[in-house]
Amino acid sequence: RWDRAAPADTCVNLIVVWLKAIAGNRGLEGTHDDGAAYAMLPHFTRRVVSWPLCYLYPRLHHANVALRTAYLDREVQRELSAAAGAPAAVVVLGAGFDTRALRFGAAHDGVRWAEVDLPEVVAQKQRLLARAERRRPRLSLVNMPPAVSDRAPPALRLLDS
């Protein structure tokens, strides 16, 4: 196989990582993830979305992902700010390759995060994040929440503890 971390199928999550990397490399507002999406991509194919090649992609190609990311980030930030230090939890359903917990975790110490997704998606994300951490150690995975792959109740128990 050309990419040992590739998913067994052509899941849409990996396409979203590519689109986030394009948007991030173009510096679009609301897409700053400190290069996490870019670092998750296969080494020899990252060049096609790096600067300045990222400008070859039409904005419509990745703008919907950038807009969705900016909207969800703004709403999560608003809710966490409203909690103002009170105990809070964020459960990301269908987390895919989302990096929000990684990006928000350091800024919100008392917040508990849990991600829920299909087993193959969780396994794939763990491989991609391990790749990203090797490339960019400052993307410490300490802030990543435990992922629940096949049962939602353990995520809820995790939040109760």
Structure tokens belonging to residue 50: 């790096």
C-alpha dist (Å) from residue 1 to 6, 17, 122, 125: 8, 20, 20, 18
pLDDT tens digits along 23-41: 888 776 556 677 778 888 8
Question: How high does pLDDT run on average in the chain?
Answer: 76
Residue 121's pLDDT is 82
Q: Is the pTM of this model over 0.75?
A: no
pLDDT tens digits along 132-146: 888 877 665 555 555
Residue 107's pLDDT is 76
CA dihedral 46, 11, 33, 76 (to 10 degrees): 170
The most confident of the ranges 9-18, 54-63, 76-85, 142-151 is 76-85
pLDDT tens digits along 91-136: 888 888 888 887 787 677 778 888 888 888 888 888 888 888 888 7
CA dist., res. 2 & res. 53, Å (int)? 22
Residue 153's pLDDT is 44
Residue 78's pLDDT is 94
